[in-house]
Chains A and B, each alone.
Chain A
Amino acid sequence: MIRIARPWASRVAAVPMGALLALLAAPLFVLIKHVSADRLATDWVSFGRTLGFALTGATVATITGGAIGVLLGTREVPGRRALFVLAVVPVAAPPAFWWLGATRVTSLLGNVTGPWAAAAIAGFALAPIALLLVTAALRQLPTHLYDAARVALPPMTRARVVLLPLLGSALAGGFVLTVILLLGESELPFLFGFRTVMTDIVTTFAQSFDIRQTLPLVIPLLVAILVLGVLTARPLLRTVLKSSRGGRGVTRTPGSAVLSLCAAAPAAGLLLSIGGYAWAILKALPSASPRGLADATTVMVSIIEPVGCAWSAVTLTLAAAYPARRSSAMPAFLWLGLLLFCVPAAIYAIGWLGVGQILGGLPIPPIVAYTSRAVPLSMLGFAVGYSRLPTSSEDAAALVGVSPVQRALLFVLPLIGWSLVAVSALIAALTFADRDVASLLLPPGASRLTLNLYLASANAPSSTVGILALTVLVGAVTSVTLAAAGPALLWRRRD
């Protein structure tokens, strides 16, 4: 639970966080002037299907990611580290990327249609979100509590009575984040041939390019996402902020190779997809060549930008949220942050474009839009980590004669390092996979690997798409690794 400071100190400490959130919401205020209540409309068939798709996909993702997270977090199975890395990799690219790769292995997969199949694919591709959060939570569980449960309870009872309640916040967080991402997803519905509110928005806008015509469709979806955020925010934040604290993680017990095989399921899907892209290249040899597909600047910036975004978001969050950690306003900030994260990246980008226009045509770099959406996510990561910090640890640290900043860096932040590592990786992955913000805010003459892959997939030969896809994958993995390495290296020795 968040500790409340004295009222005046609480109010002062909350100012930076409040100012940061207000700044993040600025682009959304620019869009509000286009809204007209009498023109709002939505198609309830699309709406129902959108919710069904998102909830089913998130359920699959949470079960898959949660199960693998528990397995790899509590058992020392052969190849555990490698399996963990392979299980996390799918988050580095959008679900459609993996699906398109798999369809190149056997074209029969290309005939699969419908929302349930799409939800299953989305679920498997986004499972790392729950996996990362569960892994972070397992590292902070009270060691003795879980060891005692191991001795006293059979496995199923232990999972039901001890593990699930202790991991409730991580699972709930993973579920909600996945639902939010899937509500804004349009590629999979197009590929699997069904309508959602998001595809309606895209089709309407693609013909009129008139934001006033599109907003009547956007607003109900946005309201639905925000309502969902409101409904889930209270229980989510309650579980996040009141969960167990002071643990040093579960002691892993030896596991068999059979368990390794279970955890290898995502890796198999991954190999199938990568194999599809690689097969397209092999078929085109020796004519297939990577030359001219991406220049060094594009590769470098594509990798560095998500890392910079992740680090900037975490740094901004720490700078603003750390002083406010005991503020009475903190739960409200978290609630607001969660709602801000609900707004799709393209809407942020259009809003920032509007801000730039108001400021006399000021070019807004994509990283600004990325970071503005990433800060709420890192706020959530900070809150998850901090809420598990034992009160006694921080009180004890206060007795040491160092400055507040040093105390934070030496005693407090190292203890929540793993939460920050998880959100940093997640932010980098989401940023790397983006194309909407890139196409709206990139400066002329610039390009990004992910955007280039989409452009090439329109008409380029399969081998070209294959080479670019593998380049994108390597870039994404590098970017996510670097993003995670920042907070990990910074606080590793103090963990």
Chain B
Amino acid sequence: MTRAIVIVGLGIAVAAAGCGKSQPSSTSGAQAGDRTVVVYSSADKEFAEQIFRAYEAKTRVNVLPLYDTEETKTAGLTARLVGEKDHPKADVFWSSDTSRAVALVDQNVAESYIPEGASGIASRFRSPTGLWTGFAARIRVFLYNTGRIKPTEAPRSILELTQARWRGRFAFANPHFGTMSFHAAALFTKWGDARATTFFESLKANDAVVAAGNSDVKDRVADGRVDIGLLDEDDAVVALREKKAVALLIPDQDGPDALGTPLMPNAALLIRGAPHPGAARRFIDFLTSEEAERILAASDAAQYPLHPGGKGPELLPALAGLRVMDVDYAAVARKLPTMDATMKTIFGL
């Protein structure tokens, strides 16, 4: 009997321990609310932590984060934001891509807030009503294996990947997820459905290798399993810093009609009904500030500041000198279902 009681007691104790480091109650008073901000983040944990630490050091406000990432093909946090809509637990959502932000805005999860320094960020990188604000962006790049391809031979445009000489030699990530889905949807938005479909059918016919994620693309190029990969610049920078036999090239830059490379900002959302609205607004001010962008540019995240004049990542050319694909971010987000259905048909994924 005693043992049974001990077991039950332990079960209860563990259940309590399972709660871990929990947030203070939203009704625990303004003072506690001012010292805490709950941030759900789909940005990579190792990069997001640098921002959280900097903010905590600067303000002594306790950041309580929860992480998820599009690379792992889960949507736990976004499902949670939608599920918690009636009684929100989060104050801020830091989305690693604008598509996710727009989808959440469509779900009526966000509240309007225009951050202090947002006027410095171009209007196309933010919602006109302040429902999301873009900051620190990534671009899409080619990473090629220098043991297999000379710099002069490397393709200059994604269109070249349909040529016979690249048959079976290139890889990109699963187009249903993350930045590759953004890239594909951007092409559908830019070209129209028919042309984009033909392009991806040509890639399939040219034996495109579809990798599990951008990190997998990087590994395949570094290992020499494929000669060239289309991926995010932060993954490419990791390979360069690990001294792999690879080089980076920014596609679609040459010529007056060049397509340009997609520029993909992070996005900050204030959650509707946030438990700590004041702290949330101040955190968003910091997240979208030049200071936060500087941290992200200097780290392995290698992200481009969107504030004018911000110093870009060390291993990449300045943003001002790049041709960027001109797209409406909300339109790209709403193109995702069409693109997704087409990709299922073409790639069988």
Contact = CB atoms under 8 A, between A and B. Distances in A.
B79 A211 contact: yes
B7 A311 contact: yes
Contact of B71 (A365, A436, A459): A459
A315 B14 contact: no
Contact of A301 (B18, B40, B65, B103): B18
B297 interface: no
B166 interface: no
Nearest to A441: B80
Given A199-B349, A458-B72, A210 B46 contact: no
A350 B14 CA distance: 22
A208 B1 contact: no
A308 B10 contact: yes
Given A210-B82, A354-B83, A440-B79, A459 B238 contact: yes
B220 A209 contact: no
B22, B210, B225 — most chain A CB neighbours (10 Å) = B22
Given A195-B349, A209-B79, A308-B14, A443 B216 contact: no
A464 B47 CA distance: 14
Contacts of A445: 20-23, 38, 64-66
A304 B177 contact: no
B23 A357 contact: no
A486 B7 contact: yes
Given A191-B212, A209-B75, A445-B64, A357 B80 contact: no
A69 B336 CA distance: 48
Interface stretch (B84-92, B139-147, B254-262, B314-322): B84-92
Given A312-B14, A315-B8, A440 B83 contact: yes
A165 interface: no
B252 interface: no
Contacts of B65: 444-445
B4 A409 contact: yes
Interface in A187-231: 187, 190-191, 193-195, 199-200, 202-211
B19 interface: yes
A406 B174 contact: no
B20 A405 contact: no
B73 A361 contact: no
A442 interface: yes
Interface in A86-135: 107-108, 110-111
B293 interface: no
A248 to B, nearest CB: 24
A367 interface: yes
A114 B3 CA distance: 50
A115 to B, nearest CB: 11
Interface stretch (A13-21, A138-146, A257-265, A448-456): A448-456
Contacts of B85: 357
Interface residues on A, range: 35 or more
A439 interface: yes
A363 B16 CA distance: 12
Given A111-B225, A405-B1, A439-B76, A361 B103 contact: no
B62 to A, nearest CB: 8
Given A193-B349, A308-B10, A455-B44, A297 B215 contact: no
B73 A209 contact: no
A9 B349 CA distance: 55
B107 A210 contact: yes
B195 interface: no
A255 B79 CA distance: 54
A164 interface: no
B1 A186 contact: no
A80 interface: no
Contacts of A471: none
B20 A446 contact: yes
Contacts of A312: 11, 14-15
B46 A297 contact: no
Nearest to A46: B344
A305 interface: yes
B198 interface: no
A435 B74 contact: yes
A162 B170 CA distance: 56
A235 interface: no
Q: Report which residue of B39, B80, B103 has the largest number of chain A beta carbons within 10 angstroms of its beta carbon.
A: B80
A446 B22 contact: yes
B187 to A, nearest CB: 16
A366 interface: yes
B153 interface: no
Contacts of B26: 361
Contacts of B77: 439
A492 to B, nearest CB: 12
Interface string B196-207: 000000000000
Contact of A107 (B10, B100, B223, B344): B223
B235 interface: yes
Contact of B78 (A199, A209, A356, A441): A209
A233 B26 CA distance: 46
Contact of A110 (B20, B46, B177, B220): B220
Contacts of B10: 308, 311
B235 to A, nearest CB: 7
Contact of B68 (A309, A439, A441, A464): A439
B76 A367 contact: no
B3 A361 contact: no
A360 interface: yes
Contacts of A202: 73-75
Interface in B34-85: 38-40, 44-47, 64-85
B348 interface: yes
A360 B104 CA distance: 22
A203 B45 contact: no
Contacts of A458: 44, 69, 71-72, 213, 215
Nearest to A406: B1
B193 interface: no
B234 interface: yes
Contact of B73 (A190, A309, A438): A190
B86 A206 contact: no
B143 to A, nearest CB: 14
A440 B86 contact: no
A107 B104 CA distance: 38
A290 interface: no
B181 interface: yes
B22 A461 contact: no
27 contacts: A110-B216, A110-B219, A111-B225, A191-B212, A193-B212, A194-B348, A195-B344, A203-B340, A206-B73, A207-B181, A308-B11, A309-B14, A311-B14, A350-B79, A357-B83, A357-B84, A361-B86, A365-B19, A405-B4, A439-B74, A443-B23, A444-B90, A451-B67, A454-B74, A455-B69, A459-B69, A459-B71
Given A209-B103, A304-B17, 18 more contacts: A190-B212, A199-B176, A199-B349, A202-B74, A202-B75, A206-B176, A210-B107, A305-B14, A311-B14, A315-B4, A356-B87, A357-B84, A363-B22, A405-B1, A447-B20, A454-B72, A457-B71, A457-B72
Closest 9 CB pairs of A and B: A308-B14, A361-B87, A439-B76, A446-B20, A458-B71, A445-B64, A443-B22, A312-B11, A444-B64
